[in-house]
């Protein structure tokens, strides 16, 4: 028995050394991205801790891949106009909301009817990054198209109720706390999917929100049609929202609150891409002779 224990311990030590060298080699020789190394590390953590029940005190010795600090890609106002002009329908409205409100993609897709306040020109973002709620501006130019979209959602919901469906998914224990809420129109998604589907979490057939791939494809087509050479994604519109507000002279704390950043240092990254403002610098070449 003692011999068997010693042999297992020796094998574990050998495997640990190989694992340590493998993870470090990913960063040093392979120069992989931090996310790639973290994925490999997560798989190994599961193997050792959950399958083999082995503690991993050697993790402190792993050479970690560094996550690069990148300046966000930002469109000019003219590029945003060209991009949106090349879109139509629901994708256009989604993209316009992302640029006009600064919401993250999933915050926009998960928007509920009750959180759109037309009287105050305000949108309440629920359970944003970090689990926090916040308010952001509702662009006046989107009032009519957004009202039409909500009326469309109302008709879809009424049809679902008539067919014995119409209960949406609610986060946490809200469905138990408010049994009637899942079928109330206020809790329905502003952008419902075109068809119902079975929820893998509990097997109930529901109508989820529109799939994010629909917007991604529309943005890709519009970028090509608008002849924009920059890489453009849904998050690029959020970056552009923040940058253009700062360019317009809005206080960085105001922009921070609208974006839902926990720390103002996160918002300050947008000052790096301003054409003017606090970080604006006039090249000495542009000054000319005195």
Q: How many other CB atoms are there within 10 angstroms of residue 241's CB atom?
A: 24
C-alpha count within 13 angstroms, C-beta hemisphere, residue 162: 6
**Which of 167, 177, 237 lies closest to 202 in space, CA to CA?**
167
- The token pair that represents 232 in the structure block: 């453009």
pTM: 0.74
For the stretch 12-36, what's the b/e string if a residue is b when 16 or more beta carbons lie within 10 angstroms of its beta carbon?
eeeeeeebbeebbebbeeeebeeee
User: Which helix or strand (DSSP H or E) is residue 197 part of?
Assistant: strand 197-198
What CA–CA distance (Å, rounded) separates 108 from 5?
56
Q: What count of residues does the chain have?
A: 290
Checking if the pLDDT of 60 tops 60, the result is no
Q: How confident is the model at residue 161 (pLDDT cuts 50, 70, 90)?
A: very high
| Long-range pairs of 103-107 with CB within 8 A, sequence gap ≥ 24 | 103/136, 103/238, 104/128, 104/129, 104/235, 104/238, 105/212, 105/215, 105/234, 105/235, 106/212
Checking if the pLDDT of 8 tops 70, the result is no
Checking if the pLDDT of 51 tops 80, the result is no
Residue 75 phi, psi (nearest 5): -90, 150
Checking if the pLDDT of 136 tops 80, the result is yes
Does residue 53 sit in helix, strand or coil?
coil
Does residue 123 sit in helix, strand or coil?
strand
Over range 80-98, report the average pLDDT: 97
Residues carrying an active site annotation = 104, 129, 235, 238, 261, 270
């Amino acid at each position: 028995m003692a011999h068997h224990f010693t042999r297992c311990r020796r094998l574990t030590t050998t495997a640990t050394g190989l694992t340590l060298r493998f993870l470090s080699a990913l960063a040093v020789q392979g120069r992989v991205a931090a996310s790639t190394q973290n994925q490999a590390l997560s798989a190994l953590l599961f193997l050792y801790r959950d399958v083999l029940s082995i503690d991993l005190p050697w993790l402190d010795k792993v050479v970690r891949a560094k996550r690069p600090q990148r300046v966000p890609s930002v469109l000019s106002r003219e590029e945003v106009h060209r991009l949106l002009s090349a879109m139509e329908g629901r994708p256009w409205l989604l993209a316009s909301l992302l640029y006009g409100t600064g919401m993250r993609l999933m915050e926009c897709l998960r928007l509920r009817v009750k959180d759109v306040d037309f009287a105050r020109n305000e949108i309440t973002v629920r359970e944003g990054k970090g689990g926090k709620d916040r308010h952001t501006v509702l662009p006046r130019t989107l009032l009519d198209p957004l009202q039409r979209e909500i009326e469309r959602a109302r008709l879809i919901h009424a049809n679902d109720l008539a067919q014995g469906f119409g209960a949406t998914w609610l986060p946490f224990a809200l469905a138990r706390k408010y049994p009637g809420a899942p079928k109330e129109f206020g809790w329905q998604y502003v952008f419902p999917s075109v068809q119902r589907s079975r929820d893998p979490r509990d097997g109930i057939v529901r109508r989820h929100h529109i799939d994010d791939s629909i917007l991604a494809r529309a943005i890709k087509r519009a970028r090509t049609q608008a002849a924009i050479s920059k890489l453009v994604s849904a998050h690029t519109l959020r970056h552009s929202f923040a940058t253009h507000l700062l360019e317009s002279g809005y206080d960085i704390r105001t922009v921070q609150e609208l974006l839902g950043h926990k720390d103002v240092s996160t918002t300050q990254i947008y000052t790096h891409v301003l054409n003017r403002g606090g970080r604006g610098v006039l090249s000495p070449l542009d000054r000319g002779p005195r």
